[in-house]
Each structure stands twice: as structure tokens, then as C-alpha cells.
Amino acid sequence: MDDLIVCIRDGEIKVSLPLKLVDIRDDGTIWYINGNPLLCPLPEDRAAIIALAKDKKWADIPDSCFARFGKINGAQIMYQSEWLKHPEYLKRKKERMKTVGIILSFGEDGWSSNVEWNGDITRPTNDILAECKTLLANANYADKQNITDKELLCKIANAKSGYAEQIEEDKQRKRKLAEKNMRRQAAEMETDLEIIEDEGGKTIVAYHTICLQSGDKIKFQDRNVFDFGRVINPEYEITPGIRGGLRRGDNWQTFDKEKGWINVRQLTEAEKEAYAYVLEFGYHAKNTIRI
């Protein structure tokens, strides 16, 4: 589920709202749970609308100023996940990555400002070098005299290398995200939640039914045990008379009062696939140990 609604204007997020703080009404308008609406007037009408809002004169505010999903008065209302895939966001992100700063010389004795070049690092090195030399020539302290072209070229090369690393990291992040989405689509998961109380207070037990593409349906219990961590148990008999158990390697184990933890049987390939799905996408996948 998307956890944020965002209002975009001029390519930037102006308002960001957690869904738990929002009430989306039948007419599509978006309200805070405190009873105030999210308003999105035209810039030239903003002062007048704010004055009406302060007095809670909602009936006097034009309907066109009430925020709804989609385009409204030069802004866009959408889920954050949609914005992160939007062409405008991706274009601006790419431009921001290309724009870097290179400190050419530090201020003298803490009184002068640093001499810094800022611009598109993908431009030709010689063009950037010429601009850096101009900046240094116009600086007003002696340190500028000690910087050679070789040193400037080294600074430029380091900045270009840093940009290349950013591009590669972004590609890897996208690749990992695409692979994760493929794994998510490899099965379907139905979840029921139960609130229980243990030594650490109230907590949630999730019951996940994993529907594999093979047609197998396998149910697991997903818990975050106080002062221990996450535990995933099969919600069925792993052998006649033994319900539940713990995974150890590729085996299901159960606890015997005399022998301790003992192997019951090996996991089937379907169980391995379903278990891995719960491990990555289950309710407690991102939770830390409760202490």
C-alpha cells in the first residue's frame, strides 16, 4: 500500500501526507483527519483562500480549490510511488545527478569563501577547466596562485568518476528493484492479522497464505517474538500429529522434551519457494527485534 500522498508543483514535492492522516471523501476531495481539507488554489488566489481557510469557511471556497487526485490548478496530486516513476521526476533526477560542485580552493584563514565550480559534470573537461581557471583568476586571495592545471584536472577527473559511480549505483538499484518486483509477481499472498499480547505487550501475528504459480497453497504464521526476533512457522501439520515447527537448513524441526530439536523431514521445493516469499515480503520482513 502507498503510504504517502504528495502534491507536486513545478516538479517539486510541496506537500507530503501519510495516508493514516488523510480522509479521502466520496467526492474525491482529500481532508486531514483533523477536519481540514487539503487545498490547492492557484498562486494568485492563495492569500484569499488562506484567509477563508483560517476561518474554516469551507463553503465559501471554490470547489476547484479542493485537492483531488490528478491535475489541479497547475499542481498534481498522486501517490509518492507514482511520482517516483513519473517522467518529470526521472528527468529532474537525472539533471540533479549531473550537477556537481568542485571546491577549487578553500577560503583563506576562515575569512574568505571557498572558490567552487558548480555545473554539468558531463560537459567536456577542457570547458570545465577554463571555467575553473576563470573562477580562480577572479578570487581575491593568494592561495589561488598555488593551483596548477594538473591539480584542477585531477579534481575534475575525480568529480567525473564520482558521477560515473552514481550512474552505476542507480543502474544496480533499478536492476535489484526490477528483480524484486519479478519475485513479488511470482506468487500471490493473502494475509490475515491477529493482535495478541506477549511479554513485550501487544503485537501482531500475520497468517500468510502463499499461492504459487504451481497451484500449491501454503500457509505460514509470521511473528516478531519479544527479545528474540522474527519466527516463521508452518500453519499446518508437517507430519501426522506434529503441527508447526521451525526451519533449520532444509529441514523442518520440532522440539522433543528428551532429545531437544530434532529433524522431522525435509522441506518440499514448494515449501522452500513459499517460505522464501514470506521471508522477503511477509508482514514482519522489515521489522527489527522487539526489546
Question: Cell triple for residue 5?
Answer: 500522498
Per-residue pLDDT, 255: 94
Secondary structure of residue 64 in the 3-state scheme: helix
Per-residue pLDDT, 283: 92
- 51: in domain: yes
- Tens-digit pLDDT profile for residues 182-197: 999 999 999 999 999 9
Asked if residue 72 and residue 18 are part of one domain, the reply reads yes
Tell which of 183, 204, 220 closes a domain: 183
Host domain of residue 220: 187-281
- 166: in domain: yes
Tally of domains in the chain: 3
Asked if residue 156 and residue 139 are part of one domain, the reply reads yes
- Tens-digit pLDDT profile for residues 63-74: 999 999 999 999
Asked if residue 272 and residue 201 are part of one domain, the reply reads yes
> What is the C-alpha to C-alpha distance for residues 57 and 45, in angstroms, rounded to an integer?
15
- 290: in domain: no
Asked if residue 193 and residue 165 are part of one domain, the reply reads no
Q: What does pLDDT average to in each consecutive run of 10 residues of the chain (291 residues)?
A: 80 87 91 91 92 93 94 91 87 88 76 83 96 87 72 95 93 90 92 91 94 95 93 96 94 94 96 96 88 81
Crossing angle of helices 149-185/125-137, nearest 10°?
130
- 160: in domain: yes
Asked if residue 147 and residue 112 are part of one domain, the reply reads yes
Question: In the Cβ-directed half-sphere of 242, how many Cα atoms lie within 13 Å?
Answer: 14
Residues 245, 246, 252, 255, CA torsion sign: negative
- 291: in domain: no
Per-residue pLDDT, 1: 42
Per-residue pLDDT, 45: 92
- 77: in domain: yes
Per-residue pLDDT, 288: 86
Q: What angle is formed at CA 274 by the lines to CA 269 and CA 277, rounded to 5 degrees?
A: 130
Per-residue pLDDT, 85: 85
6 close to 83: Cβ distance less than 8 angstroms = yes
Asked if residue 98 and residue 58 are part of one domain, the reply reads no
Asked if residue 127 and residue 162 are part of one domain, the reply reads yes
- 273: in domain: yes
- 196: in domain: yes
Per-residue pLDDT, 142: 53
Tell which of 44, 67, 85 closes a domain: 85
Tell which of 183, 206, 221 closes a domain: 183
Asked if residue 198 and residue 172 are part of one domain, the reply reads no
The DSSP-derived string for 110-129 is GTSPPEEEEEETTS-HHHHH
Asked if residue 192 and residue 276 are part of one domain, the reply reads yes
